[in-house]
Amino acid sequence: MRLQNTLSAALFAMASVASFGAVTLAAPAPALAQSARDKAEAAELKKKGDAAMVSLRYEEAIAAYKKAYEITGDPALLYNRGRALQGLGQFPEALEELEAFKRQASPALRARVPALESLIAEVRSKIATVLVTSNAKNARILVRSKVVGRTPLGGPIKLNAGPALVEVEAEGYVPFKKTIDLPGGGEIEIEAPLKLKSKMGLLTVRSPIAGARVFIDGKPAGNVPAERSLPAGPHKILVERDGYETAETTAVVNAGDKKQISIELKEKTSIAKRWWFWASIGAVVVGGAVVTSALLIEGPADTGDFSPGQISAPLRF
């Protein structure tokens, strides 16, 4: 990937250097009034931007191109900024710059980028159009830990496609958190219902058995210690771990409270450890003699892995 970026940057730099000179010569009327000093400064800024692009220092390239554009208004610099933003993986911003270049560039300049439409399509395929709605007003919306707006949004927003942790939080409400796959080149609406903290309680489930799995109301809640914000009222808790008996209980959560419960798990007992199994074996050892016998143990049925009643076990020593 780094090699591909290096090659792309090098090819881009050669094309952009050529286009800059041509556009400067054919600049619109306001640009013709620029002083020689301004033109020299813009040319130097662009040169720095091109060098930064070749070295994959995209942030430096973006800053240099921005300053040069403020001086000249050269549309070629919009294209350059778009490619640098693309290199950073900031696809919505890259698309904005490339589409601005398409609008502002002269036909002659656009002809220097014959693959412009394909480039724009490629960048657009890496962007998801997202609308987040919530019952809470003025709630902060965070995507990948970055604030992208507040509810209600004025409309859909454009974000990088792919898996993303979406969070919506507001004062007095339990935060909404969910990892969602944002579709590239597609649209998605995310509903983020928030519940008042006054109607919720916090439950923490612990166990001395590390790695024990927790289920709350039949839904996975992770491994111990597991913490969940739950509506006030009773909730069914199940804790399980390989090699242990499953434990179940009910926990009552009060609104606004924090409740902790610890659940013990009993280790499953092997048949070889049951006392009646070893007692039956001992019954056939007589004076150290080796015998083959069918043991019958009669009496009240006990609990265990065998059916109640008689146990018949042919043994060889």
pLDDT in tens, 31-68: 445 688 999 999 999 999 999 999 999 999 999 999 99
Of 71, 99, 74, which is closest to residue 85 (Cα–Cα)?
A: 99
Cβ atoms of 207 and 195 closer than 8 Å: no
Q: How many CB atoms lie within 10 A of CB 20?
A: 22
127-193 is a CATH 1.10.1200.10 domain: no
Q: What is the pLDDT of residue 28?
A: 43
Q: What is the C-alpha radius of gyration for the chain, rounded to an integer number of angstroms?
A: 35
Strands 200-206 and 258-262, bridge-based pairing: parallel
List the chain residues with pLDDT less than 50.
1-7, 9-11, 13-32, 283-317
Cβ atoms of 255 and 201 closer than 8 Å: yes
Cβ atoms of 196 and 214 closer than 8 Å: no
Q: What is the pLDDT of residue 35?
A: 84
Give the domain 2-124 fold: 1.25.40
Q: What is the pLDDT of residue 229?
A: 87
Give the domain 197-262 fold: Immunoglobulin-like (2.60.40)
Q: What is the pLDDT of residue 258?
A: 87
Provide CATH 2.60.40.10 ranges for the chain. Answer: 197-262
**Helical spans, DSSP H, in 26-90:** 29-32, 36-54, 58-72, 76-88
Provide CATH 2.60.40.1120 ranges for the chain. Answer: 127-193
Residues in a beta bridge with 252: 234
Average pLDDT over the chain, rounded to an integer? 81
Q: What is the dihedral of CA 151, 157, 160, 162, to 10 degrees?
A: 60
Cβ atoms of 195 and 173 closer than 8 Å: yes
Number of helices (H), then strands (E), in the chain: 9, 18
Q: What is the pLDDT of residues 92-115, one digit of tens each?
A: 999 999 999 999 999 999 999 999
CA 191 from centroid of its chain's CA atoms = 17
Provide CATH 1.25.40 ranges for the chain. Answer: 2-124
Cis amide bond preceding 225, omega within 30: yes
